[in-house]
Amino acid sequence: MKDLYKKEKQKKIIYDNQKEIHDQIFYYLKTLFKEINCEAYLVGSSTTGKFGKYNEIHNDQGGSDIDVVVFLEEIPSTWKKLDTERDWWNLYRMGELKINNTIHFADAMIVKKDKENVAIKKFKELGWNVEKIK
């Protein structure tokens, strides 16, 4: 099982247009979550200005993934469960977004039932930048 806290650091070319890319990601996610009853928060490199493209393909992807923490009751059937989890979340692939001719996967850390307080505590412990999507 992969460890998202200790990702192997892949060499990455950081995109110059971070604000524009952030806005594109945010719009994509707002659209994706429009009909879903949930709370969703954008985290990761798209919130820190470090979103980019890998020098070479890494874990079947060409660039940064789009990380979202989601609190919901029912997981959409179109989302694919991935082989990564923690004590407080399971990882799902929601989709993908092409940015600067590179595919970026949109992944949801689905907070497990009764682990909501753990998730909020982890946000603070890990020093994540957290932006509410919905």
Q: What is the pLDDT of residue 6?
A: 45
Query: What digits encode the pLDDT tens for the residues 15-34?
Result: 999 999 999 999 999 999 99
In this predicted structure, what is the pLDDT of residue 55? 82
Contact 110, 41 (CB under 8 A): no
**pLDDT for residue 123:** 85
Using an 8 Å Cβ cutoff, are 52 and 66 in contact?
no
Fold of the CATH domain 13-132? Beta Polymerase; domain 2 (3.30.460)
The residues with which 68 forms a beta bridge, in sequence order, are 42, 108
Q: In what order do the strands lie in the sheet with 80-85?
A: 80-85, 89-99, 102-111, 66-72, 38-43, 131-132
Residue-level pLDDT at 8: 56
Which residues of the chain fall below pLDDT 70?
1-10, 58-59
- In eight-state DSSP terms, residue 100 is T
- Supply the pLDDT for residue 3: 47
CB-CB contact of 111 with 88 (8 Å): yes
Domain ranges across the chain: 13-132
Helices vs strands, H then E, count in the chain? 3, 9
Tokens encoding 76: 């959409």
Handedness of CA 47, 107, 89, 14 (dihedral sign): negative
